Structure 1
Amino acid sequence: MIRGIRGAVTVTENHAEDMIQETKRLIETMAEKNQIAPEDIASVFISITNDLNATFPAKALRLIDGWKYVPVMCMPEIDVPGGLEKCIRVMMTVNTSLGQKDVNHIYLNDAIQLRPDLMKEE
């Protein structure tokens, strides 16, 4: 079954190294919490708010062992007035046996406010 796993993280500044580091942390946490191997991934879509343009956050995937062939694409997030700033959002489509309600969606830093209803107790 193909499932979508959502995630988001915020950064404090528009710096390439921060964007890559936080995106990498988000992706690794999404994979770990859902027991996903790179071979299970169909694609990864990453959107960023318009106040982030220092780098492509997709570069973070290339820093993770075994992720060389995972298809990834970056795009701008819709610029909604009052929306969360400096935010990187991820949609990972994966092959998994997890049920929809069992997927662990990951929100880090200030992005927790986006979907507190999807946060699971540790």
Structure 2
Amino acid sequence: MSVRGIRGAITVEVNEEKAILDATIVLLNSIVEVNRFVPEDIACVWVTVTHDLDATFPARAIRQMSGWELVPLMCSLEVPVKGSLQKCIRLMVMVNTDASQSDIRHVYLGGAQVLRPDLSAK
């Protein structure tokens, strides 16, 4: 068994608590669905946001999901590079799995598809 990283990102239209929490749930549910794992398989989730999203901690949404209460979560700010995508939530889900690196499916939703168009098409 190996620990694999699964990346994902999503954008929101507004810096509001509900928008951030809802988008975080949509993104994590999409990652879970395409990779078919359960919270018990997860080593941890690292959540980053761009500097313009400060209405809430996105990890709050994950903590409230059934079965995710004990999964270690960490939030931080994305590096504020000039001209980079704004209002973006990113996840790095570290999962214990027998899947090969090529079997892992990364998820980019909404405006975040521009970050990795090569992976968004899968």
Q: Identify the TM-score tier after normalising by the shorter chain.
A: over 0.9
Counterpart in the other structure of 1:86: 87
- Write the distance in 2 (CA, Å) between the matches of 1:119 and 1:99: 19
> Unaligned 5+ residue runs, structure 1?
none
Give aligned-pair identity as a percent: 48
Q: How many Å apart are 1:110 and its aligned residue?
A: 0.2
| Aligned twin of 2:106 | 105
Looking at structure 2, the residues matched to 42 and 120 of structure 1 have their Cα atoms a distance apart, in angstroms, of: 27
Residue 110 of structure 1 aligns to a residue whose secondary structure is: helix
> Which structure 2 residue ranges, 5 or more long, are not aligned?
none
SS in 1 for 2:113: helix
What's the offset of the Cα at 1:64?
1.4
Letter in 1 for 2:45: V
Q: In structure 2, what is the Cα distance between the partners aligned to 1:119 and 1:86?
A: 18
Please say if residues 104 and 120 of structure 1, whose CA atoms lie closer than 8 Å, have aligned partners that are also in contact.
no
Partner-residue secondary structure (3-state), 1:9: strand
1:35 maps onto 2:12 in alignment: no
In 2, the alpha carbon distance for the partners of 1:67 and 1:98 equals 21
Give the aligned partner of residue 77 of structure 1: 78
What is the CA RMSD across the aligned residues, in angstroms? 0.8
Report the Cα offset of residue 58 of structure 1. Answer: 0.3
1:18 aligns to 2:6 (yes or no): no
Any runs of at least 4 consecutive aligned residues in structure 1 with deviations exceeding 4 A, and if so which?
A: none
Aligned to 2:69: 68
C-alpha deviation, 1:62, in angstroms: 2.0
CA shift for structure 1 position 120: 4.3
How many pairs does the alignment contain?
Answer: 121
TM-score (norm 2): 0.96
